[in-house]
Chains A and B, each alone.
Chain A
């Protein structure tokens, strides 16, 4: 058990480019979350997977954002046509059970800077 792993740790991109982030959850965790965090704020929910099924997606998430979790293992978050407002820390978390009464563990995050 090596914890939740995210790649890359840092990404600088030009406005208008597409970026993709990867999250490897703790093995056998069937819950996987993506959150976004800006400086001085708490993590903001983006989307949630239970196994390979994407069960919820925040209304704050524009159509430029898409997430997948093929085979219920790792997940990817893609942002198309990036904007400066997309600059943030993107956090992935995973949990063992299907219910929220167990802890969720966060990865180290991917810091995105859009210039």
Chain B
């Protein structure tokens, strides 16, 4: 039931782009993306609801492919502040809880 994230880790130079994927074997109602820095709480980024909508703010956006039960998080022109571990949390309809993936560690170097 746990979603699978890929890649597990990625290292970029400042200004490069990254894509983080989240796949589930279950039919999803929503996907939530969080970023967590070491020793801190996960910080909410965005929600994507069933319907395939794409969302974004600043240079971070995400999509949700309902047919494939996949979501992707896009980080463009990465900044040093984007470093951290990104988690997707998935909701199966009616479950009233999020099941999180194992995380993708993103490192941005100057």
Using C-beta atoms within 8 Å of the partner chain, give the interface range for chain A. 20 to 34
| Contact among B43, B47, B89, B100 with A101 in the assembled complex (CB-CB below 8 Å) | B47
CB distance from B1 to the nearest CB of A (A): 10
SS of B interface (majority):
strand
Q: A102-B47, A109-B41 are in contact. Are A33 and B100 (CB under 8 A)?
A: no
Chain B residues engaging chain A, CB cutoff 8 angstroms: 2, 29-30, 32, 34, 40-44, 47, 49, 87, 89, 91, 95-103
Chain A residues engaging chain B, CB cutoff 8 angstroms: 4, 33, 35, 40-45, 48, 50, 55-56, 91, 100-109
6 contacts between A and B (CB under 8 A): A33-B98, A42-B103, A100-B91, A102-B47, A104-B98, A109-B41
